[in-house]
Structure 1
Amino acid sequence: MMNMGSLQSECVTVLLLFMLFLAVTPFKCNAQSRIPPHDEVEAFKEIAKQLNKYVDRGFDDPCNDYYTNKVTCDCSSSANNECHIYSFDFSEQNLDGKLPSSLWKLPYLKLVNLRRNFLIGSIPPEWASTKLELL
């Protein structure tokens, strides 16, 4: 038969182990609602490639906080809680590609910062169909 002190000690141990588990376990809340639709992610990768930017695993989830480029996603405009790429900043990265014609594939894109790079080409005609407000 257990005495009261032994039972309390066991409960404290279990509680401490549970708290330790919570402290070291990475949680990602709303992970599914934070990733843009697949076609937007693929368009974002295509834009980066047109700019001769290295595309790594971070491009699979551009809205995530760990992503090193400045990407802003809007998660409030969709009824089904999807996020959409609203803006991105690839400034001062010594990119030497051409102006990306694929911007039109990001239907929610409004702001793009490409300053201080070595980009070539004229403004692609596809940009006329975008909602781009600031370049």
Structure 2
Amino acid sequence: MKKKMKHKTIMLTILVLCLVCIVPPLQVEAQPRRLAAEEREVLLEIGLQLGKKGWNLDVDPCNDTTWSTAPSGDEPLYNNTVVCNCSYPDGLCHVVKIFLKGQDLAGELPSSIAKLPYLTAIDFMRNYLTGNIPSAWASTKLEYL
């Protein structure tokens, strides 16, 4: 009886070794994190409200460097950047900063900024925006305006 068990164990071990050697190992690649769909829609809404041209939301601003057009230097005159934080446990990226400096945007400050729950900074310097700061912004986490 012991001899039969020993033989089965050896055969099973050989089978496992053969499978390990023959079957290629599975390669698991980390999927790039992506912007939350609701926040993508809010960016579209903000762009429409401000008359922003050139935002390609077919690509994910959190994983595509073409979204950042800030020139190098201490104080750039223009900036067209969306900054995301992808370290949240929900597996999604969230917009934390928007820089639309020197974009010749006109109109009123967009109230839809309040729909970006993780947003902490916006820079609309060197544009032609008018009006009061929307009351909806009071519910945001904005630290820098």
Assess same fold via TM > 0.5: yes
- Mean CA deviation greater in 82-91 or 46-55: 46-55
Q: Which runs of 5+ in 2 are unaligned?
A: 1-29, 70-79
1:113 corresponds to which residue? Answer: 123
AA aligned opposite 2:66: Y
SS of match in other structure, 2:66: coil
Tell me if structure 1 keeps the 8 A contact 2:44–2:57.
no
1:66 corresponds to which residue? Answer: 66
1:102 corresponds to which residue? Answer: 112
1-structure distance, mates of 2:51, 2:113: 15
2:31 corresponds to which residue? Answer: 30
Check if 1:82 corresponds to 2:81. no
- Relative to total residues, which structure has the larger helix share, 1 or 2? 1
Tell me if structure 1 keeps the 8 A contact 2:81–2:100.
yes
2-structure distance, mates of 1:98, 1:53: 13
Question: RMSD of the alignment, in Å?
Answer: 1.6
Tell me if structure 1 keeps the 8 A contact 2:40–2:57.
no
1:104 deviates by 0.9
1:127 corresponds to which residue? Answer: 137
1:56 deviates by 3.9
2-structure distance, mates of 1:59, 1:90: 19
Q: Which runs of 5+ in 1 are unaligned?
A: 1-28
1:65 deviates by 1.1
Larger Rg: 2
1:58 deviates by 3.8
Deviation track 1:99-121 (CA, whole Å, cap 9, x = no partner) reads 00001110000000000100011
SS of match in other structure, 2:35: coil
- Mean CA deviation greater in 106-115 or 51-60: 51-60
Q: How does 1:44-63 map to 2 (within 5 A)?
A: 44-54=43-53, 56-58=55-57, 60-63=59-62
TM-score normalised by L of structure 2 = 0.66
Runs of 4 or more consecutive aligned structure 1 residues displaced over 2 Å after TM superposition: 55-60
Tell me if structure 2 keeps the 8 A contact 1:75–1:84.
yes
Percent identity over the alignment? 42
